[in-house]
Amino acid sequence: MGVRETQKLETRRKVLEAARDLFNEIGYEETTIRAVAERAGVSVGSVFTTFASKADVLSQVMDDRVDALYRELDHVARHMRGSVIDRLCSLFAIHYDFECRRVRLFLAHIAASFSPSLDSSTVPYGRNTRFKAMIIDMLREGQTKGEVRDDADLDLILDTLMGAYAWNYRLAAAGEADHADMTIIMDRQIRLIFHGLLPR
């Protein structure tokens, strides 16, 4: 890899780290590219050769975080024990714990997903295909094990679960819940939804 390439990667890394911290410390709207560049120790110009916009920076910050999370999760998930309900509860618990470490950043990400300038794949959970795939896998396994009805619409269940997961963060936004609180609520929501999925 050439010097130019290495430098560009290094700039990218520094910018993402600085942006991640600033978005979380002072908020997304409040953070300027100039502030990010300053924190990262790079020029504003170099930020813009690597990123299309502030929204692009946020998008890539979140992608990187997801990469880090799933590197761990791919190992852990294989060893998860218990019923499909238990495993789903654990999966969401892990996500709440992870995202609440930088909750303001995650809330900014949710808010940004409502922007009409972005395409529909930029949902907090829309682009996270690995998250969705893991859930579908768990649901399918549930069908194999007789814990989930054969005729259950798995995509619909997935959407309902993801809706519940994402909107529980409004409690964090209101400053009323930490990851443990949201996990308790999600557990209850999962059991509620699953009650309807049990084989007749």
Site residues (vs other proteins, CB under 8 A): 27-29, 107-108, 110-117, 119-120, 123, 153, 156-157, 159-160, 163-164, 166-170, 173-175, 185, 188-189, 191-197
- Smallest distance, Å, CB 109 to other proteins? 9
What whole-number distance in Å separates Cα of residue 110 and Cα of residue 148?
30
- Smallest distance, Å, CB 7 to other proteins? 33
- Smallest distance, Å, CB 32 to other proteins? 16
- Closer to other proteins by Cβ: residue 4 or 195: 195
What whole-number distance in Å separates Cα of residue 192 and Cα of residue 143?
17
CA-based torsion, 77, 122, 32, 48: positive or negative: positive
Among residues 110, 118, 94, 109, which one has the least CA distance to residue 179?
94
- Residue 46 CA, chain-centre distance (Å), reads 27
- Smallest distance, Å, CB 56 to other proteins? 16
- Closer to other proteins by Cβ: residue 23 or 51: 23
- Closer to other proteins by Cβ: residue 3 or 174: 174
- Closer to other proteins by Cβ: residue 4 or 115: 115
- Smallest distance, Å, CB 13 to other proteins? 27
Contacts 24+ apart (CB under 8 A), 108-112: 108/23, 108/27, 108/28, 108/58, 109/58, 109/62, 110/166, 110/169, 111/28, 112/28, 112/55, 112/58, 112/59
- Closer to other proteins by Cβ: residue 1 or 174: 174
